[in-house]
Structure 1
Amino acid sequence: MWSLENKLREEQNRTKFSVLNAEMIHKHQMSQAEIEIQQLSRRLTNARSELDEQAEKLSNQYQRSIRTDKLLRDLTMENAQLMEALQVTEKRQKDAEEKYYKMAERCQAWQDVTTRVARSAIVR
C-alpha cells in the first residue's frame, strides 16, 4: 500500500507539474498575444491616420482640380470671345483700309481732273 501511495503522490506531482507547466506556457502565449494585439492596434491606428491624411490630401487636390478646371473653361471661353472680337476688328480694319484706298484713288482722280480743268482754264 505504501508503494501505491508513493506512486499516487508521484503521479499527482507529475500532473501538478504538468498543469503548472501548461499554465506557464498559456500565460506566456497570452502575454505574447497581448503584445501582438497592441502592436497590431498601433499599426491600425497609424494606418488609419495615414489613410485620413491621404484622404485629406486627395480631397484638397480634387478641390484644386475643380477650381483649375473652372478657370480653364472660363479662360477658354474668354479666349474664344477675344478671338471673335479680334476677327471682327481685323475685318473692320480691312474694310477701312479698302475704303481708304478707294478714297485715295478717288482723291487722286479728282486731283487729276482738277489739274486738267485748271490747266485747260489757264490755257484758254
Structure 2
Amino acid sequence: MNQRIALGRRGEDLALTYLEQADYEILDRNWRCRAGEIDIVARDARYLVCVEVRTRSGSGFGHPLETLTPEKLLRMRDLALAWRAEHPEFSGMLRLDAIGVLLPPGAEPQLRHIVGVGTNN
C-alpha cells in the first residue's frame, strides 16, 4: 500500500473511532457507486450523516478541510442521496459532515469535525 493510501486509511480509522466514541452509529464505510465514494455513513440521534474525511501529514499546504470545494460538497450531497436511495430503511433528515485529520510525524493526531459542512449550521 503506498504512503498516501495508508495515510488516508489511518485518518479514516481515527475519524471512525472518534464518531463511535461520540455515540454515532456507523452504518457504512467506503461506500462506492459510479458517482464516487462516501467515506463514512453514520447516524446520530437526529440525522443520517455522510462524512467526508480529509487527512494530511502536516499543515504546510493548509488544513485538510481547506481542500473541500463547492464541487466536492455538491458531489457529497449527490452521493448521500444515492446512498439513501439504496438504503430506504434509513429515512429521515440528512446531514453532511467533514472531519479533517492532521497526522504530523512524531506528534499526536489532531481531528476537527465540521457538523453540517456547506450549510449555515
Task: Tell whether the structures are fold-level matches, with TM greater than 0.5.
Answer: no
Report 1 or 2 for greater relative contact order, CA contacts < 8 Å, sequence distance ≥ 6: 2
TM-score between the two structures when normalised by the length of structure 1:
0.18
TM-score between the two structures when normalised by the length of structure 2:
0.19
Report the structure, 1 or 2, having the larger helix content.
1
Report the structure, 1 or 2, having the larger strand content.
2
